């Protein structure tokens, strides 16, 4: 059974066309919620991926952007092991993400993409999740003053 509080926090019901990649095993918090497990029909309203290093995170961000995984206003959720988790020996430090992805601190944009940092939340005791929103061309131009 899905964790109702997490489903509400991530607004999963708002996104009918969902994708989940690199699932590390049973994700009981999302049990019963339909996700494609491979890219079948782009664009998606929501793509959720589990990543275990900053390299994997960057690869996922740029792959999603380059391959147009998301619809306008779609979200890319990246779940990563938090510091102090008892499951994985490695973790991603929250304060390392923006510098590694070279996020523009004024706009929240990842350079070379239309993905804007949107949110950060606890997923469970092991993972934290960050959200990046796919901006429409109009919203991107407005944000960057083009």
Residues lower than pLDDT 70 in the chain: 1, 146
Domain of 102?
A: 4-144
Question: What is the DSSP-derived secondary structure letter of residue 132?
Answer: E
Q: The domain spanning residue 105 has which CATH number? A: 3.40.50.150
Tallying the residues shown for the chain, one arrives at 146
Give the chain's domain count: 1
Task: State the pLDDT at residue 4.
Answer: 85
For the whole model, what pTM was predicted? 0.94
Task: State the pLDDT at residue 98.
Answer: 96
Task: State the pLDDT at residue 1.
Answer: 63
Q: What does the alpha-carbon distance between residue 86 and residue 56 come to, in Å, rounded to a whole number?
A: 20
Task: State the pLDDT at residue 146.
Answer: 61
């Amino acid at each position: 059974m899905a964790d109702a509080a997490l489903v509400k926090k991530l607004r999963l019901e708002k996104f009918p066309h969902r994708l989940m990649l690199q699932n590390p095993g049973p994700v009981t918090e999302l049990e019963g919620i339909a996700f494609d497990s491979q890219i079948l029909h782009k664009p998606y309203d929501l793509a959720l991926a589990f990543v275990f290093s900053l390299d994997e995170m960057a690869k996922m961000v740029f792959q999603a952007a380059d391959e147009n995984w998301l619809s306008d206003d779609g979200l890319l959720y990246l779940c990563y092991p938090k510091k102090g988790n008892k499951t994985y020996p490695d973790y991603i430090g929250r304060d390392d993400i923006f510098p590694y992805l070279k996020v523009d601190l004024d706009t929240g944009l990842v350079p070379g993409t239309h993905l804007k940092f949107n949110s950060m939340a606890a997923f469970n005791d092991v993972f934290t999740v960050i959200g990046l929103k796919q901006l429409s061309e109009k919203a991107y131009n407005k944000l960057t003053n083009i």
